[in-house]
Amino acid sequence: MVTGTRILVVDDSEPSRRVLADVLKAQGHTVHTASDGKWAWLLLCRAWFSYDLVVTDLVMPEMNGIELLSRIRADCPWIKVVLITAHTDPEVRSRALMLGAFAVLSKPCDVDRLKAMVELALVK
């Protein structure tokens, strides 16, 4: 298990954000949260350290997960991104993967699958 990494959880739903953060903290990661893509991007740009992974919802106000993913890939390509979405449209998933998402998980997210995908992303 990879521990001691910095993860940013981005979701406009406060309960979802809290659950994701708690699961990842229990694995030993340092976790910060943001309520939308715009706030997440500000945190990424202003942090005095680098995040190792961003776990983000797809549909959010201000800046959605695809826009956030695009900015991360362009300016911080070393940061892995896992998208979580309730959308079942294969084109949305395909686009996210083409833009460089490490994985796209379905909402509601299976906790064991999330843990496994985070661990895999952090060792690759």
Q: Is residue 67 part of a domain?
A: yes
Q: Is residue 64 part of a domain?
A: yes
Domain with 18 in it: what CATH number?
3.40.50.2300
Q: Is residue 1 part of a domain?
A: no
Instruction: State the CB neighbour count (10 A cutoff) for residue 27.
Output: 17
- Asked if residue 109 is part of any domain, the answer here is yes
Domain count of the chain?
A: 1
Find the mean pLDDT for residues 76-80: 94
Domain that holds residue 116: 13-123
- Amino acid present at 68: L
**pLDDT classification of 2: cutoffs 50, 70, 90:** low
Strand partners, 82: 55, 103
The predicted pLDDT at position 1 comes to 63
Decide if 100 is inside a domain: yes
